[in-house]
Amino acid sequence: MSTPQTLYDKVWAQHVVADLGDGVSLLHVDRNFIHDLSGTRAIKSLIEQGRSVRYPAQTFACPDHTVSTDRRSPHSGERYARCVDPLRTMTADQGVRFFDIGAAEFGIIHVIGPDLGLTVPGALIVCGDSHTCTHGGLGALAWGIGASEVAHVLATGTVIQKKAPRLRVTVTGELAIGVTAKDLILYLIGREGAASASGYAVEYAGPTLSAMSIEQRMTICNLSIEMGAKVGMVAPDDKTIDFVRGREYAPDGTHWHQAVNHWSGLVSDDDAVFDKEIMVEANVVSPQITWGTSPEHVVGIDQYVPDPAGESDLDKREAILAALSHTRLQPGKPMEGLHVDRVFIGSCTNGRLSDLQAAAHMIKGRKVAEHVQAWVVPGAQSVKRAAEAEGLDQVFLQAGFDWRQPGCSLCVGANGETVADGQRCVSTSNRNFVGRQGKGSITHLASPIMAAAAAVSGCLTDVRKLMGERG
Partner 1 sequence: MDKFTVLTAVAAPMMQANVDTDIIIPMARMVTAERADMHQHAFEPWRFRNDGSENPQFVLNRPPFQAAEILIVGANFGCGSSREGAVWALQGLGIRCLIGSSFGAIFYNNCFQNGILPVVLPSVAITQIADQVAASGNSAVVTVDLQSQLVIPSIGAPIPFEIEPNRRIQLLDGLDDIGMTLERADEIDTYRQIDKKNRPWIYRGD
Residues 288-327 touching partner 1, rule: CB under 8 A, are 294, 296, 315-316, 318-319, 322
Q: What's the min distance (Å) between Cβ of 366 and partner 1?
A: 33
Q: What's the min distance (Å) between Cβ of 237 and partner 1?
A: 19
Whole-Å CA distances, 24 to 18, 19, 123, 159, 361: 9, 6, 19, 10, 48
**Run of H or E residues at 277:** strand 276-281
Q: Please, which of residues 132-171 interact with partner 1 by CB under 8 A?
A: 143-149, 151-152, 155-158, 160, 162
Task: Check binding of 195 to partner 1 (CB under 8 A).
Answer: yes
DSSP, collapsed to helix, strand or coil, labels residue 212 as coil
How far apart CA 361 and CA 217 sit, in angstroms, is 21
Q: What's the min distance (Å) between Cβ of 212 and partner 1?
A: 25
What is the contact mask toward partner 1 in residues 97 to 116, using x (rule: CB under 8 A)? --------------------
Pairing of strands 24-28, 16-21: antiparallel
Among 24, 92, 284, 397, binds partner 1 (CB under 8 A): 24
Among 75, 82, 317, 364, binds partner 1 (CB under 8 A): 82
Residue with smaller CB distance to partner 1, 354 or 437: 437
How far apart CA 390 and CA 413 sit, in angstroms, is 30
Say if residues 251 and 259 touch (Cβ distance below 8 Å). yes
Provide the CB-side half-sphere exposure for 263 (13 A, CA).
Answer: 27
Among 1, 3, 21, 48, binds partner 1 (CB under 8 A): 21
Residue with smaller CB distance to partner 1, 281 or 318: 318
How far apart CA 127 and CA 153 sit, in angstroms, is 9
What is the contact mask toward partner 1 in residues 343 to 382, using x (rule: CB under 8 A)? ----------------------------------------
Residue with smaller CB distance to partner 1, 322 or 386: 322
Q: Please, which of residues 197-226 interact with partner 1 by CB under 8 A?
A: 198-199, 225
How far apart CA 290 and CA 282 sit, in angstroms, is 18
Say if residues 343 and 433 touch (Cβ distance below 8 Å). no
Q: What's the min distance (Å) between Cβ of 167 and partner 1?
A: 13
**Run of H or E residues at 388:** helix 381-389
Task: Check binding of 339 to partner 1 (CB under 8 A).
Answer: no
Residue with smaller CB distance to partner 1, 208 or 288: 288
Q: What's the min distance (Å) between Cβ of 412 and partner 1?
A: 6
Task: Check binding of 20 to partner 1 (CB under 8 A).
Answer: yes
Task: Check binding of 276 to partner 1 (CB under 8 A).
Answer: no
Number of C-beta neighbours around residue 246 at 10 A: 10
DSSP letters, 241-267, are HHHHTT-TTS--HHHHHHHHHHHTT-S
DSSP letters, 35-88, are -TTHHHHHHHHHHHTT---S-GGGEEE---SS----TTS-S-SHHIIIIIHHHH
Residue with smaller CB distance to partner 1, 161 or 373: 161
Q: What's the min distance (Å) between Cβ of 400 and partner 1?
A: 28
Q: What's the min distance (Å) between Cβ of 45 and partner 1?
A: 9
**Burial class, 312, CB count within 10 angstroms (exposed 0-12 / middle 13-18 / buried 19+):** exposed
Q: What's the min distance (Å) between Cβ of 205 and partner 1?
A: 21
Q: What's the min distance (Å) between Cβ of 79 and partner 1?
A: 6
Dihedral angle sign, alpha carbons of residues 389, 390, 394, 397: negative
Q: What's the min distance (Å) between Cβ of 176 and partner 1?
A: 29
Starting at the edge strand found earlier in the chain, the sheet holding 276-281 runs: 231-233, 201-205, 166-172, 276-281
What is the contact mask toward partner 1 in residues 389 to 418, using x (rule: CB under 8 A)? -----------------------xxx----
Piece of 15-23, 86-94, 213-221, 454-462 that binds partner 1 (CB under 8 A): 15-23
Number of C-beta neighbours around residue 15 at 10 A: 19
Residue with smaller CB distance to partner 1, 322 or 467: 322
Residue with smaller CB distance to partner 1, 85 or 149: 149
Residue with smaller CB distance to partner 1, 179 or 408: 408
- The secondary structure of residue 142, as a DSSP letter, is E
Q: What's the min distance (Å) between Cβ of 146 and partner 1?
A: 4
Binding-site size, partner 1 (CB under 8 A): 78
Q: What's the min distance (Å) between Cβ of 282 and partner 1?
A: 26
Residue with smaller CB distance to partner 1, 116 or 376: 116
Pairing of strands 24-28, 158-162: antiparallel
Q: Please, which of residues 36-75 interact with partner 1 by CB under 8 A?
A: 37-38, 41, 49, 51, 55, 57-58, 65-66
Number of H helices, E strands in the chain: 18, 19
Sequence-distant (6+) residues with CB within 8 A of 208 are: 171, 172, 173, 174, 175, 184, 280, 282
